[in-house]
Amino acid sequence: MDTAISQPSQRSDADGAAAPACAAVLVAAPASGQGKTTVAAALARLHARQGRRVRAFKCGPDFLDPHWLALATGAPVHSLDLWMTGEADCRARLRAAAAECDLLIVEGVMGLFDGTPSAADLAERFGLPVLAVIDAGAMAGTFGALAFGLQNFRPGLPWAGVLANRVASERHAGMLKDALREPSQWLGALPRDPAFSLPERHLGLVLAAELGDAMARLDATADVLAATPLGRMPVAQLPQVRFEAEASVAPVPPLLAGRTIAIARDAAFSFIYPANLDVLTALGARLSFFSPLAGDALPACDAVWLPGGYPELHAQALAGCSQMRDALARHIADGKPIWAECGGMMALFDELATHADATRPPDVHRLWGLLPGRVTMQKRLAGLGPQQLTLGSHTLRGHTFHYSSCDTPLVPAAHTGRPDTAQAVGARGGEAFYVHGPVRASYFHAWFASSPEATARLFGAMPIELDGHDAEKEDSDAR
């Protein structure tokens, strides 16, 4: 396989330790929906079941695709984003993974060159050869033009080859291969087969844990991939990438030492970055998980985290969680903080209205009533993209992605800002950040490692300060 990445020379970091190297590819595509996750997970599964150590990462902010990659590899899947997580964080995670694995797979986001930063930016920054997946179901000769454009649009982009997805027949695959200017770039084809598809819904892929046949789907695709040039290639012949040392990182202060944080985790509250749990642990917190859907009691704790997820799919069940609602009300009455993030915030409002259509009005569910107002689901995206939130002198980076809107009398304490704009305090712009007593709530999904200090504020280590003001005290005075 031709690639811009050759076998690495033995080079050492400044501390004298050899920079780790391993086989590595970045699985990308010309657009979303081409089959990146299917191919990345199947490739990981193929090598993992042969006894190799495989680590996978996801480019960009994503909670759903990593579940499939984690199922395939048996290891946590972290996000890589040159803005949200930062270059130093990306470099450290890649280097640590390369030191312990045989194959490193990064799944791209959207199209190869989409977004700022893009998957191509990540590939270029870390020398990750691009394995392009193209849905060829409705094309023939154009496949070659598209593959050539992806490879050459940005001169010098590391390149591994191209794999055709959703191919109709062997004859069709032959036409696609013949369309390539460089036949050596052909890594094979996957057939059009519903058994290989991963089911989707409004926020993206269905979680692997929700499907009883999730592993069978990966194995079926891995079996077919095993017969392709990519699948037959020994791991030693895959592109080898060397990962240099990251810059020194300041230690995380134990600002949450001695505190217990109770974290909701089930099908309704599943949008949790593994790295966020690591940050809370590094801050000194003890983590205690509970499932509202399973009827778990709220653990004894100093703070609560209600992550995002799919409360709209479980609205009726959540409406019946009266004991959880009462426990959270007592927690709030005791002045203990809650960080409610996107779906977690939705569950705290008075009501949640599901989709309406032309034949009937929306179903309205009474939820926990700990924040005043109604959340309404809609068919179009209401928020999407990178966001940042400043608390005191520290800024949290993250993103927003939701299909609902909320109507509330609460006055936002602040709004998040996009990377290229300042945060708006007390004015419209970005996502609303609410401070209601000890409850802090927003559609904003935070990447805790971007500011452990601001994260500690969310969980009560220090007051929430916005533009020099104590937002909690001002909210208390207002009420």
Residue 342 among the catalytic residues: yes
Annotated active-site residue in 59, 301, 321, 342:
342
Give the span between the Cα atoms of 102 and 235, in whole angstroms. Answer: 8
Q: How far apart, in Å, do the first and last CA atoms of the chain sit?
A: 67
Both structure tokens of 391: 């608390």
Alpha-carbon distances of 419 from 19, 25, 244, 276, 395, rounded to whole Å: 32, 28, 27, 20, 11
| DSSP per position, 77-112 | -EEE-IIIIIHHHHHHHHHHHHTT-SEEEEE--SST
Give 291's contacts (C-beta < 8 A, 6+ positions apart): 264, 265, 266
Task: Provide the 3-class DSSP secondary structure of residue 307.
Answer: coil
Task: Provide the 3-class DSSP secondary structure of residue 181.
Answer: coil
Q: Strands 240-242, 286-290: parallel, antiparallel or unpaired by DSSP?
A: unpaired
Contact between 48 and 54 (Cβ < 8 Å): yes
CA angle 338, 341, 344 (to 5 degrees): 80
- State phi, psi for 275 to the nearest 5 degrees: -65, -30
Alpha helix (H) residue ranges in 99-232 = 119-126, 142-152, 170-178, 214-225, 229-232
Give 305's contacts (C-beta < 8 A, 6+ positions apart): 261, 262, 263, 264, 338, 339, 341, 344, 459
Nearest to 25 by CA among 317, 179, 189, 233: 233
CB atoms within 10 A of CB 156: 8
Give the span between the Cα atoms of 191 and 215, in whole angstroms. Answer: 19
Active-site annotation, residues = 342
